[in-house]
Amino acid sequence: MDRLYERSSRRCEAGTLDPVVRDAIAAHAEAHQLGDVLGAAWWCCETRSTRLKRPGLLARLTKSGDPDKEHTTVALILPRYLVVAVAGEQRGVHVRSIRLEDVSVGRGLASNIDTGVSATGLWTAATEPASFYIGLGDDADGKAFLDTLRGAIAEVKST
């Protein structure tokens, strides 16, 4: 099957993120009492995603397809949390977080045709566990982020 997105990931400093994304992350952290997530991040990964195909007819009719031709995903690994922000022109900025001890990561269905990881667990402010797909580039920084995330999860769960 053909890939859905062309993705490229890069490790970055939280201070270099787009100010709108940075402000949304800070607001989320304050609302959920997570502390200074931008300052405490062990690893910050920014992934730029470009949709390769137009959503199908049903997705366009139900508005369930990706509204943006391009979007950015920012994922931060903190000592006890994973914070993910997704930003696009049509979708705006959406931020979510999950405790590392509550998350499991795996390939998921989308991984068969895309690069990234499915993170499953009880996300902040949710009442039931859910999966969220984090798109990552199939490049050195995308792979290093995933390895670091898996290591951080294992470390927190072993203590």
- Pick the closest to residue 97 from 35, 141, 159 (CA basis): 35
Taking the CA atoms of 113, 116, 122 and 125 in sequence, report the sign of the dihedral they define. Answer: negative
Alpha carbons 124 and 133: distance in angstroms, whole number:
16
In sequence order, the 6+-apart residues with CB closer than 8 A to the CB of 90 are 67, 68
- Pick the closest to residue 75 from 7, 155, 129, 127 (CA basis): 7
User: Tens digit of pLDDT per residue, the chain (159 long)?
Assistant: 577 789 999 999 999 999 999 999 999 999 999 999 999 999 999 999 998 877 666 656 676 667 788 999 999 999 999 999 999 998 899 999 999 999 999 875 555 567 889 999 999 989 999 999 999 999 999 999 999 999 999 999 998
pTM, whole model, 2 decimals?
0.90
Q: Bridge partners of 9?
A: 47
Return the pLDDT at 95.
97
In sequence order, the 6+-apart residues with CB closer than 8 A to the CB of 84 are 73, 74, 75, 76, 95, 96, 97, 119, 132, 134
